[in-house]
Structure 1
Amino acid sequence: MLGKLVIPFFFLFSAASSLASMTISGTRIIFPGNEKEVTIRTNNKGSKPALVQVWVDDGDINADLNETDVPFITTPPVFRVEPGKGQSVRLIYNGSELPQDRESIFWFNLLEVPPLYKDTANVDRLELAFRTRIKIFYRPKTLTSSSAGQMEKIQWQVLPGNKGVSVINNTPYYLSFDRAALQNGGGSGELDTAMVAPFGSASFLLKKGAMAGVTGATIRLINDYGAAIEKKLILSADNKLLLQNN
């Protein structure tokens, strides 16, 4: 009789990953501070049943679930979804104190565990468990806009040597970017972007060294619905990048 070889692999995929059967409706979760819970819809796009586990972490992907202290509960925490069917997950806020002058961020995790079939129970096999993570933005009820609605408050400046740009986030919202690039008369240079925390700052460096003759920039900020809002920036005399009015 052949032995059973089970090798678990954990991959991070976007919600639109074609390799995993389970998907999440949306690429981010906005949790309004005046709500006690929100509903997250999951769907099985595959041809076989899926066993799913869901939970929330604070950003540490390797955190022990029994020791993670987060203000959200997911229910049901484990469920089975038939092919072509869906399952709603309740994300419940437990009332723990969070900052009320800015957004807080957490992560929603969905782990899809492959089913065990009787006809393959005694044969060598490779099991792949797919893990999907999307951001949860807790938005206090005192905040009535969004990052996309306050783009004029973001400060941009070209770094010395034209090696990239500095970003100062003067808003209470997290800034997530789909893309950013510096431009000159002959083309553009793509920047390495990162999420910028509320009232924080970051440097976006060019992926390929420096760039001569910078005239402006293009940024693509991700809004609450996961869509990218593109804006043009123009270079001012003091090396700042100013939002161009459309």
Structure 2
Amino acid sequence: MKKIVYLFALLLATGSSWANIVINGTRVIYPEKSKEVIVQLVNNGDDPSLVQSWIDDGDINSTPETARVPFLLSPPVVKVSGHNGQQLRIKKLPALLPGDRESVFYLNVLDIPPVPENLKNQNTVQLAIKSRIKLFYRPLSLRGSLDDALTKMEIQAESREIRLVNNSPFHITVANIAISGKELLLNDAVMVNPFSQASASAKRPIAKGQTIQVKYVDDLGAYKSKSFVVR
């Protein structure tokens, strides 16, 4: 009897050369007025892949069986032929979410490659790649845009500790902070929740009154930059 053991690798960004299945985009925006949103998958490989997809509310160890979210995703499991695409449809279910700020969820896409013909009926180990991107639910009541939200953000610093204060109803993802073109953040990108703050560590001390450039991620997944004076 053959035995297949799947090893799961988690990708927080799409487009890895390991994965045949690629998500078109690095984030999903779900406006409240939309009946559904569509996410496009593409199989860049020659072989078919079995794809399993689900949405979670922040648990990186979630599974389709344990995730509990107010969204319906279809199809949850689908076979995608080589060099072909597949649409995932996401529909909001009747559930109460905050109306004064965004809510964040995560779309998981698991790419399970087929067993090679020459390894069938043998004990094999296969690598299944899981891509995970953010899904933002955006209430109709929110005014302005993510770019406008940046004008309401404050940057505070004390030596090497940076405090990012988000005074807007949008999630702000800070990819890095730079002074004179030299990037400062020691850690990865920082997402600051609406009406909240987050901390980050810098490679060297930052003084109040200095002008810094904040690189952030917009709705399309592109990097933009805005200047701030440190408070």
So what's the TM-score if we normalise by structure 2?
A: 0.91
Aligned: 1:104 with 2:136: no
Q: Relative to structure 1, is the Cα distance of residues 144 and 211 closer, same or farther in structure 2, using a 3 angstrom cutoff?
A: closer
On the 8 A contact 2:216/2:223 being kept in 1, the answer is: yes
Q: Could you list the per-position Cα deviations for residues 119-149 of structure 1 after superposition, in whole angstroms to 9, with x for gaps in the alignment?
A: 3213343200000000000000111422222
Shift of residue 152, structure 1, vs aligned partner: 1.3
Distance (Å, rounded) in 1 between the aligned partners of 2:34 and 2:74: 16
Q: Could you list the per-position Cα deviations for residues 23-80 of structure 1 after superposition, in whole angstroms to 9, with x for gaps in the alignment?
A: 0111100000111211111010001011101110111022343332201111111111
Distance (Å, rounded) in 1 between the aligned partners of 2:206 and 2:142: 38
1:198 to 183, 186, 194: 194
3-state SS in 2 of match to 1:203: strand
On the 8 A contact 2:184/2:204 being kept in 1, the answer is: no
Shift of residue 212, structure 1, vs aligned partner: 7.0
Find the counterpart in structure 2 of residue 229 from structure 1.
Answer: 224
Distance (Å, rounded) in 1 between the aligned partners of 2:29 and 2:67: 21
Distance (Å, rounded) in 2 between the aligned partners of 1:40 and 1:99: 24
1:166 to 148, 160, 163: 163
Write the letter of the residue equivalent to 1:197: N
Shift of residue 12, structure 1, vs aligned partner: 1.5
Aligned: 1:210 with 2:205: yes
Report percent identity of matched pairs: 36
**Unaligned segments of structure 2, at least 5 residues:** none
Shift of residue 225, structure 1, vs aligned partner: 0.4
Distance (Å, rounded) in 2 between the aligned partners of 1:231 and 1:118: 53
Distance (Å, rounded) in 1 between the aligned partners of 2:45 and 2:227: 41
On the 8 A contact 2:46/2:82 being kept in 1, the answer is: yes
Find the counterpart in structure 2 of residue 26 from structure 1.
Answer: 25
Write the letter of the residue equivalent to 1:177: V
So what's the TM-score if we normalise by structure 1?
A: 0.85
2:175 to 173, 178, 184: 178
Find the counterpart in structure 2 of residue 219 from structure 1.
Answer: 214
Structure showing greater radius of gyration is 1
Matches within 5 A, 1:116-155: 116-155=115-154
Distance (Å, rounded) in 2 between the aligned partners of 1:80 and 1:228: 33
Q: Could you list the per-position Cα deviations for residues 182-204 of structure 1 after superposition, in whole angstroms to 9, with x for gaps in the alignment?
A: x37xx745113411100000122
Shift of residue 86, structure 1, vs aligned partner: 0.3
3-state SS in 1 of match to 2:147: helix
Distance (Å, rounded) in 1 between the aligned partners of 2:167 and 2:210: 24
3-state SS in 2 of match to 1:177: strand
Distance (Å, rounded) in 1 between the aligned partners of 2:207 and 2:172: 27
| Higher-strand-fraction structure | 2
Write the letter of the residue equivalent to 2:122: V
Find the counterpart in structure 1 of residue 8 from structure 2.
Answer: 10
On the 8 A contact 1:154/1:169 being kept in 2, the answer is: yes
Write the letter of the residue equivalent to 1:97: L
Q: Relative to structure 1, is the Cα distance of residues 189 and 110 closer, same or farther in structure 2, using a 3 angstrom cutoff?
A: closer
Distance (Å, rounded) in 1 between the aligned partners of 2:73 and 2:125: 29
Distance (Å, rounded) in 1 between the aligned partners of 2:36 and 2:194: 23
Q: Could you list the per-position Cα deviations for residues 126-181 of structure 1 after superposition, in whole angstroms to 9, with x for gaps in the alignment?
A: 2000000000000001114222222111011122xx21321110000001122113
Task: Please give the root-mean-square deviation of Cα atoms over the aligned residues, in Å.
Answer: 2.1
Shift of residue 209, structure 1, vs aligned partner: 5.0
Distance (Å, rounded) in 2 between the aligned partners of 1:82 and 1:229: 36
